Structure 1
Amino acid sequence: MGFWFFMLIMNMLIPLAMLIFGALFKNKAPKEINYFYGYRTNRSMLNMDTWVFAHKHCGRIWYKVGWIMLLLSLIVMLLCMNLKEDTLGTVSLILICVQLAVMAASIIPTERALRKTFDEKGNRR
């Protein structure tokens, strides 16, 4: 049961991070464009307008998807409560890989929204 509880906590980290950073980003982007913190792509870093837009857009996605992934991850873990440790470890690895893929996939709609809203130089269309 101790290993299951440990894996439950590990499997909640990515959805919780998405919830926390989603809530932060949808309300307030980092004050300055930087290479260390925030939604950093070439298009989002063109100017402050693209920077703020990208953070609000990505933040909304992460906040919504974070709740969904948190609930689904909890359901998966509850269904796996009585599995052997090696099987539980494998299920958790798959779950974390899916979470990372979903998190990375949020780049696609955000970049599409940036392309639709801004030209190549960062001016609003």
Structure 2
Amino acid sequence: MSKVLINVGMSILVGGIFIIAGLILLYKPPKDINGLYGYRTTRSMKNKVLWKEGNKYSAKLLILYGVILMVLDIVVSLAFSNGEYTILVIIGLMIVSSILLIMAVERKLKQLEKTLLE
């Protein structure tokens, strides 16, 4: 039973970190392009328009993915309560979510960049 509680706790923590990061980025977005705070990729740092959109869109996705991740991880934790590798599945889902988030934001920024150049 203690493994289940630890895994559920980790699930809430991981999803909660995504949600909190998204809320901070949504309500306190970085004003200027910088190397410390915000959605920082080569594309997002090209200009102010891409920077602003990258931060706004990634904040919304962080919140959405955080909620999905939390629910999914809790379901996995409860479904595989005796599994020794449940924590690895939770970490794996976090990594996959992060990769999907970056891919989605970069795709959106690429489309925006094309429209800016036209």
TM-score class, shorter? 0.7 to 0.9
Contact 1:14/1:100 (8 A) holds in 2 = no
- TM-score w.r.t. the length of structure 1 is 0.79
In structure 1, how many angstroms separate the alpha carbons of the residues matched to 2:13 and 2:56? 22
2:86 aligned residue: 91
| Counterpart in the other structure of 2:107 | 112
Cα distance in 2, alignment partners of residues 12 and 29 from structure 1: 24
Moved more, 61-70 or 20-29: 20-29
Distance 1:96 1:124 in 2: 39
Aligned-pair CA distance for 1:36: 2.3
Paired residue total: 118
Question: RMSD of the TM alignment (CA)?
Answer: 2.2
| 1:72 matched to 2:72 | yes
Q: How many Å apart are 1:55 and its aligned residue?
A: 0.8
Asked whether the equivalents of residues 23 and 59 of structure 1 are also in contact (C-alpha less than 8 Å), the reply is yes
| Amino acid of the structure 1 residue aligned with 2:87 | S
Q: Which residue of 1 aligns with 2:9?
A: 9
TM-superposed CA distance for 1:124, in Å, is 6.5
* 1:21-100 equivalence runs, <5 A: 21-81=21-81, 83=82, 87-88=83-84, 90-100=85-95
Deviation at 1:59, TM superposition (A): 1.2
Distance 1:14 1:124 in 2: 38
| Superposed CA offset, 1:6-56 (max 9, x none) | 332223332111111122223442233222222110111122221111011
The list of structure 1 runs, each at least 4 consecutive aligned residues, that deviate by more than 6 angstroms after superposition, is none
User: What's the offset of the Cα at 1:75?
Assistant: 1.5
The AA in structure 1 aligned to 2:88 is L
- Structure holding more helix per residue: 2
Name stretches of at least 5 consecutive residues in structure 1 with no aligned partner: none
